[in-house]
Amino acid sequence: MKIFIDTANIEHIREINSWGILSGVTTNPTLCAREGREFRSVIKEITEIVDGPISAEVVSFDKEGMLKEAHELSKIAENVIIKIPITPEGLAATKALSSERIQVNMTLVFSVNQALLAARAGASYASIFLGRLDDIGHDGISILSDIVTAYENYGITTEIIAASIRHPMHVTEVALTGVDIATIPYKVIKTMAKHPLTDKGIDRFLEDWNKLNKLISTKK
């Protein structure tokens, strides 16, 4: 499972990218607004840091507007992926872009049926929003797992992104579904690296090492 970071924060992207575990970045209008900077320059900076797909979202509702934005965004860098919401207009825009070989991440996908349409329209990625499904009392993981199965049934090559991940257990659960990619918030990635037994183990090793050094120096 590839790991993407779900943020538009440059410092966070730099830090996690330095771990060598990042395969891409997803952003959305909310995440970009949080940074309070001009959207395109943020996307440009991210493409210079991470060598992988960087999703930038359109905000138009109509196909023509989406296409116009998509063409402008795809000029920023080769690794910019156009994020388009799954609506009838979004599907039509995705079809047009995929025939121009511009890659689309179809976003706000909440059901198997929507995921099937995204694939037929030619989306390279489909983002399934787990946390938001859980928020309204649905079982996000089980819907994600059904989408993985449906794609496998037909050899669909659209990559599934588990999105709207809220906590470390989500990551473990999505990994067990066989999903291609998990896009994870900074705070959750940081938590993934932590374990109390790792900290305890390091303390113990250091303690024993110091004891040995003390013993050796008293024998001299």
Binders of ligand E4P among residues 18 to 57 (CB under 6 A) are 26, 28, 31
HSE of 15, CA atoms in CB hemisphere, 13 A:
11
Is 127 an interacting residue with respect to ligand E4P (CB under 6 A)? Answer: yes
Answer for the pair 37, 69: CB distance below 8 angstroms, yes or no: no
Which range of residues in 84-92, 128-136, 193-201, 212-220 is near ligand E4P by CB under 6 A?
Answer: 128-136
CB nearer to ligand E4P: pick between 93 and 163 = 163
Candidate list 63, 83, 95, 214, residue with the active-site label: 83
3-state SS, 135-177, equals HCCCCHHHHHHHHHHHHHHCCCCCEEEEECCCCHHHHHHHHHH
Residues 6+ apart with CB under 8 A from 125: 53, 55, 81, 103, 104, 105, 106, 158, 159, 160, 161, 181
Is 163 an interacting residue with respect to ligand E4P (CB under 6 A)? Answer: yes
Is 151 an interacting residue with respect to ligand E4P (CB under 6 A)? Answer: no
Among 3, 5, 6, 170, binds ligand E4P (CB under 6 A): 6
The helix/strand/coil state of 57 is: strand
Which range of residues in 12-20, 63-71, 89-97, 129-137 is near ligand E4P by CB under 6 A?
Answer: 129-137
Residue 75 annotated among the catalytic residues of the structure: no
Q: Would you name the residues annotated as active-site residues?
A: 83
Binding site for ligand E4P (CB under 6 A): 6, 26, 28, 31, 107, 127, 129, 131-132, 163-164, 183
